[in-house]
Amino acid sequence: MIEAVNLTKRFDNLTAVDHINAVIRDGSVFGLIGTNGAGKSTFLRLAAGILKSDEGHVTIDNHEVFENPKVKERFFYISDEQYFFSNTTPLEMMEFYRKVYPNFNRERFHKLMGSFGLDEKRKIQTFSKGMKKQVSVICGICACTDYLLCDETFDGLDPVMRQAVKSIFAADMEDRGLTPIIASHNLRELEDICDHVGLLHKGGILLSKDLDDMKLNIHKIQCVLQKGQRLDDLKELEVIHKEQRGSLITLTVRGKREQVEGVLKSYEPVFFECIPLSLEEIFISETEVAGYDIKKLIF
């Protein structure tokens, strides 16, 4: 388990990470969402022990990360801007990482490089941005660490490669309990892979929730009421967003599904249905309640 307690990092007068408290459970995918400048990269660098915090700390299973080589063997950090040694090939980078990570899987490295169509002996500096990102992901997966810290990992990858990387993450989660922590400015990129999502804004965690819990307790309802009934009649429902077009009413409500449906049935509407919400819709609803417009924060 990774835990950040009161984590703070300042650069001169700028507070990049502002007293963050977060817990990342093993075996789950933690998505860190936020616009450019929200503090995502700084948080990951603090979590990786690259930066020293001004206040607070990051631990893995209660062991401090900063300046702790033994703990650092447990994670692999994939930065947004790819860095490789000058004039190296993927094969040479593999040999370097084998010395750093005792469980590095050489056979799998060769297999994945072939599957991705990448030349192991070609100079990495001649690769495109997407190809460099693929090499980083392959090295990260083959390091066989417990945690993978990913900064905008899907940025620069084409749609096919994005799905391939997500499939690899999912397989390693199932096979060996990998825990990916993925930072992204794009909420839609993480919808089909994350278990828990934290929304980072101006260096602080605005919202951090388990997706299953969120989906179980917030619903979109479309209904047509009986003639003479009004939207205000549905007083038993905790409505956090409402919209009406003609006779069709669309509500976003909080509560257990059975309770919500029971209330609606008691009014004997002409029509109603409960529609699954997307991650985007859930976050829009949650942040609107908190007084924020997520469309301005994320999209």
Q: Which of 202, 199, 280 is nearest to 22 (CA)?
A: 199
Position 142 scores a pLDDT of: 97
pLDDT per position as a tens digit, 41-83 = 999 999 999 999 999 999 999 999 999 999 999 999 999 888 8
Position 287 scores a pLDDT of: 63
Sheet with strand 75-78: strands edge to edge: 75-78, 147-151, 179-184, 30-33, 196-201, 204-210
DSSP string, 84-150: --TT--HHHHHHHHHHH-TT--HHHHHHHHHHTT--TTS-GGGS-HHHHHHHHHHHHHHTT-SEEEE
pLDDT greater than 80 at residue 238:
yes
pLDDT greater than 70 at residue 296:
no
Distance CA 142, CA 7 (A): 30
Task: Average the pLDDT over 188-192 and give the result.
Answer: 79
Chain centroid to Cα 38, Å, comes to 14
pLDDT greater than 90 at residue 87:
yes
Position 276 scores a pLDDT of: 79
Task: Average the pLDDT over 204-218 and give the result.
Answer: 78
| Res. 295 pLDDT band, cuts 50 70 90 | low
2-202 CATH: 3.40.50.300
Note if the pTM is more than 0.85.
no
| Res. 294 pLDDT band, cuts 50 70 90 | low
pLDDT greater than 80 at residue 111:
yes
Domains in the chain: boundaries: 2-202, 213-298
Tell me the CATH number of domain 213-298, given options 3.30.450, 2.40.128, 3.30.70, 3.40.50.
3.30.70
Please state at what angle helix 106-115 crosses helix 90-100, rounded to 10 degrees.
150
Which residue is associated with the tokens 């893995």? Answer: 60
The pair of three-digit structure tokens given for residue 213, joined into one six-digit string? 């819990």
